[in-house]
Structure 1
């Protein structure tokens, strides 16, 4: 029965969180921390029900997801083409690579002061920060993926008469897809954290703004609720969309099977 339980998807998904929630509840009930600074999961659940009933949580969550969608969309549209161009053209890469490393080292939150001056407290400001956070790690992943494509495959395709366009779509792009999938997953994770940071500083709505506004009025339960909502949403997005996409991409080109065969 125990083996059957541990093999169930529900247990593998929710089981690791049981001791975390239990420890959280024990610490809250022990009185070690004042309730003004630390609340238990029961208070967070009550706050969740109350904000859901008032429609506040749904509105904030919708605003956050809209900003994330804009940022991710523009980030992919910029990062993917720029990454492949940088990887395929040596002269462009030689010129762009130092700039790429320079901006990769600058944290997204460092842009917020100047972004506020440029765009004010607007959707454009938040979108800019998310796009900036996604583009550079995505470009690096694309370049790394193109470099991992075996040169023998490219030479073989060209020897069989394939032109540059066909080599790109039938050899380079499929070979780089596993690294690209990993870059998309990593970039979205960075973008998710950038969204929260931007909403805390420049936002007028959203989950990050809700947490910061709750801190201002001393409502710790809303702060805890915001963290739980952010964690649950990212876990669902990663488990239901990003991880299957990355796994399917890797398996499609045989990397997983070859690793298993080596074992």
Structure 2
């Protein structure tokens, strides 16, 4: 037995790998699960929410627990109110984002690539960038009334200016060596724009779209609260009027979930792909 121990302790013997504790292995496996990474951080938040509601720290008229909100979801789904409001909010957001991109992207590239346009537009751009979207609501109501046009105007206004600034910043980040190299090889203005400037500016454009949509999403809620006759923002404001706090909580949760899905499924992958593309361009430039 002593000889066996000596052989195991000899310099040439390989020590047996020590297995990690069961709890650590379980946590490592759990942390690799995408559903857990997404929903796990919300578990303590919901637990704390439930504990505060059950402890009666605040009156029921001011604070409700998750069970009341879940019951409210079922009630609004049965009545068809929540799907209708969701559809109205997403339709308004779609119009605002569509027009915002159609205006902001061309104007951003035009401002970035034309010195004359930039000198004329830049002071105006900075001026209106400083004015909050909600400041436009009183005059917009006078112009367009309580209509889809009013909400769309506010969303477009919120998206256009951050997007233009991001496009200008992205074009300025494109290395001048790449542009000069393309021109020396005989590329015209259109080809330089399509093959050099546009791909190089895409990461900043993606960040601008992501930021602009975030601002537009908040502007949508503010506009629906003030000028809307339907939608998630209107639902929250109307619930406040009748004293139904559970619908206010539900509205906040719906807004957070929708934005998280939009960002995680569309905006974040688009931004990541463009950043990786830009990294490859810089890598090839460095290799050359």
Q: Determine if the TM-score, normalized by the shorter chain, exceeds 0.5.
A: yes
Secondary structure of the residue aligned to 1:235 is: helix
Partner of 1:84: 109
Partner of 2:165: 140
Runs (4+) of structure 1 exceeding 6 A deviation are: none
Partner of 1:156: 181
Partner Cα distance (2:56, 2:71) in 1: 19
Partner of 2:44: 19
Does structure 2 conserve the Cα–Cα contact (< 8 Å) formed by 1:251 and 1:257? Answer: no
Q: TM-score, normalised by structure 2?
A: 0.88
Gaps of 5+ in 1: 259-263
How far off is 1:252 after superposition?
A: 2.1
Cα–Cα, structure 1 residues 255 and 103, in superposed 2: closer, same or farther, change >3 Å? farther
How far off is 1:2 after superposition?
A: 1.4
How far off is 1:242 after superposition?
A: 0.6
Compare CA radii of gyration and give the structure with the larger one. 2
RMSD: 1.1
Partner of 1:102: 127
Aligned residue pairs, count: 258
How far off is 1:249 after superposition?
A: 1.3
How far off is 1:253 after superposition?
A: 2.7
- 1:1-263 residue pairs with structure 2 within 5 A? 1-254=26-279
* Residues 102-148 of structure 1, C-alpha deviations (whole Å, 9 max, x = no match): 00000000000000000000000000000000000000000000000
Q: TM-score, normalised by structure 1?
A: 0.96
Secondary structure of the residue aligned to 2:63 is: coil
How far off is 1:257 after superposition?
A: 9.1
